[in-house]
Amino acid sequence: MENILEELKWRGAINQVTDEAGLTKLLADKSVGLYCGTDPTGDSLHIGHLIPFMMLKRFQMAGHRAHILIGGGTGSIGDPSGRSSERVLQSMETVHHNEDALTAQMKHLFGADNITIVNNYSWLSKIDLLSFLRDYGKLFNINTMLNKEVVASRLEGGISFTEFTYQILQSVDFHHLWQEHDVQLQIGGADQWGNITAGIDLIHKMEGQDAQAYGLTIPLMVKADGTKFGKTAGGAVWLDPKKTTPYEFYQFWLNQDDRDVVKYLKYFTFLSREEIAELAQKVADQPEKREAQRKLAQEVTAFVHGQAAVEQAERISAALFSGDVKTLTADDIEQGFKNMPAVECSSQPTNIVDWLVGTGIEKSKRQAREDVTNGAIRINGDRIREVEHVIDPAAMFAGRFVIARRGKKKYFLAHVK
């Protein structure tokens, strides 16, 4: 089997590696324990967080022993990485709620094989202040810590002692996992390099220079237009289906730029080199078909939300494109029309002209009658031409919604009160 580091290089997924030759040999000789961590700063990961965990998943699939660290301890003080100011501390109740939510997400993504989920609160919370200073603080040189990029970038604006000590705590994590779980590799985003190398230094100081400990970071993901990956006009793209619906998630990937799609296929899917090369050729030869984007959307949505979510997203997309919304369920409607103009209507059967004016879709009865007789109005997918037509909100979509369309593309979602 190809060395996994070579596979990651081909995918453009390696930014920096400590002792690449040593790590290559280690990975070839045995099943290696490795970990990636995330702090419970929220109750869901977004797709920016997903990048290093996709790499962890590749190691898991290659037979290595993957560990996910939920930072209940470190998350209670805040990582200064990537921030220009102090993080507002969360209550421990919020931290524990977020821990539970992220643990459930990770179990869904990684399954049960070759995976261990740990929470650093279970060991960091047991270290008293004097033990922390004597056992760990003595081994960290302030000058070295100040030179770490994550700290150096904060010195001008100021950094609290709390956030300054974050790299010590993350180092303690690496040593604990090295000692208790035979974990020898830590992976993370490019901004974690200083924290990861601090952990390796701690292991060498406590266990000897021959102790095998390695680090690997993932490049910062930037789109072809120079903007940050993972952000949309509406904000972050979340893995939690309540925050970003599977349909919105699918659409995010479907709408990627031709210049980025092959890179994302390498990063975010488990397709082979041959499959990706074939899709890359289709981008070059027939970009208007957007086959690569469709495959990307299918693969990532299936990984995060399951195949049923892919089928639902494609069903919604097809119905919106054709206008045949009658095939959709109430749940489909809730997802597919989430960002379309919303109005409210009574649950009582109502004349179409009165209904259009009452919901505000039409400004006047004269305009409503004109649009109806001209065939410009569709209700639940059916074109209505009779001004005497009565709309029965209970007729479709479990009595929850009425879909109105004015003209070719102007949709309105009426919520039945």
Residues annotated within the binding site for ATP are: 231
Residue numbers belonging to the annotated binding site: 35, 166, 170, 231
| Three-state SS at 278 | helix
Residue numbers belonging to the annotated binding site for L-tyrosine: 35, 166, 170
- How many whole angstroms separate alpha carbon 25 and alpha carbon 1? 14
CA distances from 174 to 210, 247, 336 (A): 16, 38, 44
DSSP string covering 19-78: SHHHHHHHHHHS--EEEEEE--SSSS-BHHHHHHHHHHHHHHHTT-EEEEEE-TTGGGT-
- For residue 218, the cross-strand partners are 189
Paired tokens of 245: 């619906």
Q: How far is CA 143 from the centre of its chain?
A: 36
Write the single-letter amino acid at 70. I
Tokens 């109502």 found at: 350
* CB-based contact 336:319 (threshold 8 Å): yes
* CB-based contact 333:380 (threshold 8 Å): no
Q: How long, in residues, is the chain?
A: 417
- How many whole angstroms separate alpha carbon 260 and alpha carbon 275? 16
Tokens 């082979």 found at: 272
Strands 401-406 and 33-38: unpaired
Nearest CA-CA partner of 184 in 193, 175, 171: 175
Nearest CA-CA partner of 103 in 147, 148, 62, 72: 72
373 Cβ contact partners less than 8 Å away, ≥ 6 residues apart:
385, 387
- For residue 35, the cross-strand partners are 67, 186
